[in-house]
Amino acid sequence: MSAVRAEGLGRKYRRRWALSDCTLDIPAGHVTGLVGPNGAGKTTLLNLAAGMLPPTTGVIEVCGGVPGSGADQLAKVGYVAQDAPVYSGLTVDEHIELGARLNPAWDAGLARDRVHRVGLHGKQPAGKLSGGERAQLALTLGLAKRPELLLLDEPVAALDPLARREFLQDLMSAVAEHELSVVLSSHLVADLERVCDHLVVLVDSRVRVIGEVETLLSEHHRLTGPRRELGSLPGDQEVVAASHTDRQTTVIVRTTAPILDPTWTVGQLGLEDLVLAYLSKPVPNRPALEVLR
């Protein structure tokens, strides 16, 4: 089952395409990290998935339904938009009350416990909360509606390191407890390496790479050795990034086969290096070498 499935998805604002021809399939039951440079279309994709925007072209399916198609669909998806927007005129308690009235599957106990545990005061106006408290309030609302899928857009970007860690601890505890799927966008790859088991790298609306984090890490290698042409690499090694000096060549390849060439020094990649390799300019396709028999 897919949490989010899109085909040829596009969204145009006036004359500008914020997302175009995006095709992807994010499996349910996982925490998926969505990374990409600014302007890649991450926020637009999340807005489309939450049903906040209708698509201009293509189709999107979330938890088996069309986003924003009705009350059932809205109940399935929780969305914490960028900067955790709240109603600044309402108190924390009033937010909880509002959540209870608007959501059929509202978990009042969970909301109460969470507000208490993260140290929010019920009578406090949301406009007076710190960035960390606001994020915690928004996460509480998102979790207490008991969605199948929780979408988070840059949830920790505005938080200090301690608040960030607490937020992610809480999010992971909720994932362990309620078995919900999560899709979160973030620039903080070090955090993603801890919390995500799936990764999507989105560049210019296109999925550059998608998959299970462990698998991706085990399939990517950094090869360094004396300078050589990339055309001499075996056909089963997909070149992700390459750089040369006058003597040395460094390539990042993706392959499931072992690296047999003894002239290479083979190194493993961390998630951050892997993401950066995909964000850099793609290496043009090269003709695959035939295996001689």
Residue 214 Cβ vs other proteins, minimum distance, rounded to whole Å:
6
Residue 185 Cβ vs other proteins, minimum distance, rounded to whole Å:
16
| By the rule CB under 8 A, 187 interacts with other proteins | no
Query: Is the Cβ of residue 129 or residue 199 nearer to other proteins in the bound state?
Result: 199
Residues 205-224 that bind other proteins (CB under 8 A): 213-214, 217
Stretch that binds other proteins, among 63-71, 120-128, 265-273, 277-285 (CB under 8 A): 265-273
Helix axes 92-102, 131-144, angle to 10 degrees: 20
Residues 118-157 that bind other proteins (CB under 8 A): none
Q: Among 168, 203, 251, 253, which residue sits at the site for other proteins (rule: CB under 8 A)? A: 168
Query: Is the Cβ of residue 30 or residue 146 nearer to other proteins in the bound state?
Result: 30
Q: Please list, in sequence order, all residues whose beta carbon lies within 8 angstroms of the beta carbon of residue 152, skipping any fewer than 6 positions away.
A: 79, 80, 139, 142, 171, 182, 183, 184, 185
CA-angle at 213, arms to 154 and 41, nearest 5°: 35
Q: Among 59, 270, 282, 289, which residue sits at the site for other proteins (rule: CB under 8 A)? A: 270
Q: Among 69, 88, 169, 248, which residue sits at the site for other proteins (rule: CB under 8 A)? A: 169
Query: Is the Cβ of residue 40 or residue 80 nearer to other proteins in the bound state?
Result: 80
Query: Is the Cβ of residue 34 or residue 213 nearer to other proteins in the bound state?
Result: 213
Residue 262 Cβ vs other proteins, minimum distance, rounded to whole Å:
11
The amino acid sitting at 182 is V
Give CA separation, 163 vs 35, 81, 147, in Å: 21, 18, 24
Strands 57-62 and 77-80: unpaired
Q: How many residues bind other proteins (CB under 8 A)?
A: 25
Stretch that binds other proteins, among 71-79, 234-242, 267-275, 282-290 (CB under 8 A): 267-275
Q: Among 59, 190, 288, 289, which residue sits at the site for other proteins (rule: CB under 8 A)? A: 190
Q: Among 83, 93, 97, 193, which residue sits at the site for other proteins (rule: CB under 8 A)? A: 193
Q: Among 116, 194, 227, 244, which residue sits at the site for other proteins (rule: CB under 8 A)? A: 194
| By the rule CB under 8 A, 197 interacts with other proteins | yes
Nearest to 81 by CA among 190, 154, 169: 154
Residues 26-45 that bind other proteins (CB under 8 A): 30-31
Query: Is the Cβ of residue 115 or residue 195 nearer to other proteins in the bound state?
Result: 195
| By the rule CB under 8 A, 165 interacts with other proteins | yes
State the residues that interact with other proteins by CB under 8 A.
30-31, 165, 168-173, 175-177, 190-191, 193-197, 213-214, 217, 268, 270-271
